[in-house]
């Protein structure tokens, strides 16, 4: 998620809990008003990682517009049943996903056990797990390692398709990798998707200028691995030279946007 100057964006901020994690930095749970709505926030080193509305009736609503852009995948592929989310945070998206599609399944990976514990205590994850049972699986692990292990299990399985996902959503930080590593990552993701599966990643990038050069090269590498790719600007009123939320889609099935 985009790194905000927290004090400029959260009004009447009240800290509920904070801790220092040697592996992940300073973690804080706070509440306050964001664009007029009262929310509970998960911050890591003063960068916003997740948020939930606190007002009655909005418990399952998505707090940020870029998350709504993920929903393009359900227009492209109406048969999505099994989803993998990389980047659990406060588990906002799984709550929304299962409220909208209670008969579907979502596995959510979060690398930090501290954040999972905090989400269970302060973001209703425990109640979410109890309510949806096997439809929600919380995995505490590095996302890339999970995909590597899954690809090995798929390769060795007589029922490989049952292990694959219809949709892989990446809402974790996506840093730059070398071309070779990125191509291997793309191939790894593809091996964990069904034939018409979709990969969608939240990228915070500029669309023009020097800062856009490397992201464009990275997306071109994905286009060498997948038959179809597409970049969706989440808010077309934002200056294209400014880093902003965009959703990158990749699939072997046509992306009819």
Q: Which residue has the tokens 């969706």?
A: 232
pLDDT tops 60 at residue 1: no
Domain ranges of the chain: 59-251
The pLDDT tens digits for 193-238 are 999 999 999 999 999 999 999 999 999 999 999 999 999 999 999 9
pLDDT of residue 3: 47
| Whether the Cβ atoms of residue 249 and residue 73 lie closer than 8 Å to each other | yes
Q: How far is CA 131 from CA 53, 69, 99, 139, in A?
A: 19, 26, 10, 17
pTM of the complete model beyond 0.75: yes
Q: 59-251: which CATH number, 1.10.3720.10, 3.10.450.50, 3.30.2270.10, 3.40.50.150? A: 3.40.50.150
The pLDDT tens digits for 104-154 are 999 999 999 999 999 999 999 999 999 999 999 999 999 999 999 999 999
Closest Cα partner for 208 from 252, 256, 243?
243
| Whether the Cβ atoms of residue 56 and residue 96 lie closer than 8 Å to each other | no
Residue 28: phi and psi, rounded to 5, are -135, 140
12: left (phi over 0), alpha (psi -120 to 50) or beta: left
């Amino acid at each position: 998620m985009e790194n905000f100057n927290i004090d400029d964006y959260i009004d009447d901020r009240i800290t509920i809990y904070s801790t220092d994690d040697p592996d992940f930095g300073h973690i804080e749970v706070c509440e306050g008003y964001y664009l007029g709505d009262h929310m509970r926030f998960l911050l890591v080193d003063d960068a916003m990682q997740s948020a939930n509305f606190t007002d009655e009736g909005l418990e399952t609503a998505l707090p940020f517009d870029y998350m709504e852009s993920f929903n393009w995948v359900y227009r492209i592929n109406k048969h999505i049943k099994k989803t993998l989310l990389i980047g659990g945070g406060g588990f906002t998206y799984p709550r929304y996903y299962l409220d909208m599609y209670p008969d579907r399944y979502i596995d959510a990976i979060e690398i930090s056990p501290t954040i999972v514990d905090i989400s269970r205590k302060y973001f209703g994850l425990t109640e979410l797990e109890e309510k949806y049972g096997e439809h929600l699986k919380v995995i505490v692990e590095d996302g890339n390692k999970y995909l590597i292990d899954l690809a090995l299990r798929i390769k060795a399985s007589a029922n490989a398709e049952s292990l694959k996902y219809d949709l892989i959503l990446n809402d974790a930080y996506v840093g730059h990798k070398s071309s070779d590593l990125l191509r291997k990552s793309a191939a790894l993701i593809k091996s964990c998707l069904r034939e018409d599966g979709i990969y969608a990643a939240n990228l915070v990038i500029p669309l023009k200028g020097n800062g856009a050069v490397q992201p464009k090269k990275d997306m071109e590498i994905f286009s060498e691995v997948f038959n179809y790719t597409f970049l969706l600007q989440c808010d077309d009123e934002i200056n294209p030279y400014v880093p902003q939320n965009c959703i990158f889609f990749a699939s072997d099935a046509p992306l009819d946007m």
